[in-house]
Structure 1
């Protein structure tokens, strides 16, 4: 029997539709119908995303169209697609959705500020995907759902069915295609739920600059005096962990916008990395894992259903998705004022960047465009040297305009609202990876507390000779010797050599941006004229 709600306008005739279902209903359906689904000992829904356990950035495509193509920074990140091929994939998705016994629909909002929010419709085949997006989007009230009307954007998630690799411009059986003019995202060949979330973020990254709003891949929180901090950082730098601060109200952990009125969260939930999660180090996130939380690709005891967060045998990218109100100290609605502090988080595995330093507005623009972190290399053939990663705006995979567009908006807003920018290194101290050790989370938290408490207002600073940043010489609850990286290295000459290498990597990476940014920002980068110091 047909329900009053149907998807016939999209060419989908499947009759059994679960729209904005309750959490228990989605649990029941997932457990009954989806392989690899179970309940953890604390009530979270444990799910398996299949072959793909992370995003597939090389399979993301954007339709070239005269209305938008001059705005998009085409290249290896924003790869073009013709309209005909999009429609081939679109038809393939519809064919699959039409043979499904039932489908799930999530109608919800992206953006807490009503002035800028998008109405989003997710059409998917798995209870796991529906619950994930009900966690990640902002769910409408019963009245809002009644009057939802036509969505602004539609996601057709047919990820359980592959793309045809022989279709023009396809590189694999995975395809994630965005059509700005049709206002549709089509997903084939991947059941990793993060593709839906980041697809919507990409749309916001395109639309918001058209309204002089800066979209940001960052976390944000607010203090007792309503002072707002935003924290930029690539995966593994501590963006989610450090924003969940019991002394401050969480605005959000991943996606925000900075408008003329202030800051708002795009999402209704959090998507935290679960690898090595512990109650001791990350109590807020640990305690948010309960009934209604989705745990992706975790390994658990088959008898007790207790999760082993240290087990990476499925993937290193284990994740937890939960509604933002699962964090105890949260700002609802997730809207706040203008940021006072902007923190760029980097995990420098070379061990040469200071654990905390203050930036000029020009240096802030430079580091924002650079988007640096360093990943630890694998141990193949005995190689343990860190690998530098640069991702413009700390989220290049989702930025659709040229990075300079976002950098100009950031610089303009920092200047107008007199925000202070900081660089915080959550990576290595006392030597590079393999020699030194990871910076203590306790010390990093103390440095961020010092920023919030204005403790650095009255301390002495020294200037880093190569990077030019201002390093405080003291910080409450942090040993002063770790504030200057060189002091923590036994081999001072090796320190200078490693630092010289990192400066070279920064300079080489920035060459591709130099023609499009003003000379003051270029000059704010690190200088390579080294002299070895004892």
Structure 2
């Protein structure tokens, strides 16, 4: 094989079992990878310098085709089920060999990288791609070693990604032709049949969600994190899509540690990644200036389209998918912190977009409530998004990242509770959704109010605000907050009638408890005690 670029002298490609008669491009720069991708016909260059690529028939992850090899290491550790689907060891070995055979006649793009800004816990990755733009994606999303370290780089986890390789479900043990399979014992991920680059990123996130708790008792988190420029106080933001996680963590007055994946150790919080993978649907500079300006040369945009007769990206175009995205290195964000490490958090925020208008705009949680709401991972979708849907729909995702949790959610929740108690951390539930009634009746919480409440929490202003307990959810609601009308702080007071509010609140409480039933068996008594209880005065 002809090898181009800076490669490791101590651990070459054959150590991974890979051989090819074509060229192998090692650790290429963004400029080189963009040139290769354009020459291969893998994408087009936009007028802002970004490389625009399509992911083919898969415009998102395929959760039902993500597997974990079941063996002596994982059998009694992994939370098996619809999320973590077992895969046979022998089938993995056969499929792995078929992929290796298929690579023998292909050009390859190889990258050595890190996952984890704290070198004590980081993975040393080797990513083997058949597409140049996928290798650029990995350059952007994972951490980039210093050049001198590449010479003797020895990986301890490998990703092989070949979107053109399709499995045969009849013989290979997969559900369909596409697959993403994690083997913890062989420390390897195989991805085939899909060109959606996020499978590689989230595959490594799942790996760290297994290894960090089981090997180091470190808490992995699906969250964003930032830090005060002067006070150096770290804050963590959990939240599902549409809750405002990216918007609220991207604060010009604070440094961005990372926007998606982190770990909480005994000494710090650190980012897993070296970049950001943000949605760009309806993106404007006015709404998201940091993201908009980060999309430049070296960045990738996925499944977008140009304004006709131009090379200007039309971010409103959903002809391919609504899940249009961009991947860029974190230094494209001006206030990014490098290395991406912060201290022990002082404040943790659970963001929810409650379309029922029930939850307070901000409330303080005790340890049991924090564990309960962490396991719940609640938000709500508004009505009208699907035919026949006439009222809000509840969404629960354990630990705000259920698809990426190899272990039972209560294990992560107990670790959060331990850290909260040990470090005297405040945990806040923040509703960025509706007030004064549900979607269609009330109104969306003003962003200026949400920012004011988060600022008050970060600065300690809410410590002495005076609190009252919610009669159903029992968390504490502050009586006052600078910059926010007192009436707004109490959701019941924003409704036109008490019965209407409590009917809706009781309904939401019932949904919480029904969702929590599947976790009860392994939950602590303290967590179970935090379950909401109906207000029987309005039943």
What does residue 378 of structure 2 align with?
372
CA contact (8 A) 2:73 2:184 kept: no
**Alignment partner of 1:401 is 2:423:** no
What does residue 153 of structure 2 align with?
148
Among 119, 126, 131, the alignment partner of 1:126 is 131
Shift in alpha-carbon separation, 1:396–1:155, aligned structure 2, 3 A: same
Where in structure 2 are there 5+ consecutive unaligned residues?
none
CA contact (8 A) 1:393 1:403 kept: yes
Question: Secondary structure of 2:36's partner?
Answer: helix
CA contact (8 A) 1:346 1:425 kept: yes
What does residue 305 of structure 2 align with?
299
What does residue 53 of structure 2 align with?
47
What is the alpha-carbon distance in structure 1 between the residues aligned to residue 129 and residue 363 of structure 2?
45
CA contact (8 A) 1:54 1:192 kept: yes
Shift in alpha-carbon separation, 1:389–1:43, aligned structure 2, 3 A: same
What is the alpha-carbon distance in structure 2 between the residues aligned to residue 167 and residue 405 of structure 1?
36
Q: How far apart are 1:286 and its partner, in Å?
A: 1.7
TM-score (norm 1): 0.95
How many matched pairs? 530
What does residue 325 of structure 1 align with?
331
**Alignment partner of 1:340 is 2:346:** yes
What is the alpha-carbon distance in structure 1 between the residues aligned to residue 165 and residue 327 of structure 2?
24
**Alignment partner of 1:489 is 2:495:** yes
What does residue 177 of structure 2 align with?
173
Among 101, 107, 112, the alignment partner of 2:112 is 107
What is the alpha-carbon distance in structure 1 between the residues aligned to residue 475 and residue 489 of structure 2?
13
Among 29, 35, 39, the alignment partner of 1:22 is 29
What does residue 310 of structure 1 align with?
316
Stretch deviating more after TM superposition (164-173 or 2-11): 2-11
Q: How far apart are 1:498 and its partner, in Å?
A: 1.9
What does residue 474 of structure 1 align with?
480
Question: Secondary structure of 1:70's partner?
Answer: coil
What does residue 2 of structure 2 align with?
2
Q: How far apart are 1:381 and its partner, in Å?
A: 4.2
What does residue 355 of structure 1 align with?
361
Where has structure 1 moved over 4 Å in runs of 4 or more? 377-381
Question: Secondary structure of 2:348's partner?
Answer: strand
CA contact (8 A) 1:63 1:81 kept: yes
What is the alpha-carbon distance in structure 2 between the residues aligned to residue 99 and residue 429 of structure 1?
60
Stretch deviating more after TM superposition (401-410 or 5-14): 5-14
Stretch deviating more after TM superposition (166-175 or 262-271): 166-175
Alignment root-mean-square deviation, CA: 1.8
**Alignment partner of 1:197 is 2:229:** no
Shift in alpha-carbon separation, 1:307–1:3, aligned structure 2, 3 A: closer
Q: Deviations over 1:35-83 (max 9, x none)?
A: 4x22222111111111111111111110111122211111111110101
Among 162, 173, 195, the alignment partner of 2:166 is 162
Shift in alpha-carbon separation, 1:461–1:518, aligned structure 2, 3 A: same
What is the alpha-carbon distance in structure 1 between the residues aligned to residue 471 and residue 288 of structure 2?
35
TM-score (norm 2): 0.94
Shift in alpha-carbon separation, 1:282–1:478, aligned structure 2, 3 A: farther
What is the alpha-carbon distance in structure 1 between the residues aligned to residue 202 and residue 303 of structure 2?
18
CA contact (8 A) 1:14 1:97 kept: no
What is the alpha-carbon distance in structure 1 between the residues aligned to residue 46 and residue 275 of structure 2?
20
**Alignment partner of 1:218 is 2:223:** yes
What is the alpha-carbon distance in structure 2 between the residues aligned to residue 358 and residue 402 of structure 1?
25
CA contact (8 A) 1:136 1:322 kept: yes
What is the alpha-carbon distance in structure 1 between the residues aligned to residue 504 and residue 284 of structure 2?
33
CA contact (8 A) 1:34 1:126 kept: no
Stretch deviating more after TM superposition (511-520 or 76-85): 511-520
What is the alpha-carbon distance in structure 1 between the residues aligned to residue 318 and residue 357 of structure 2?
25
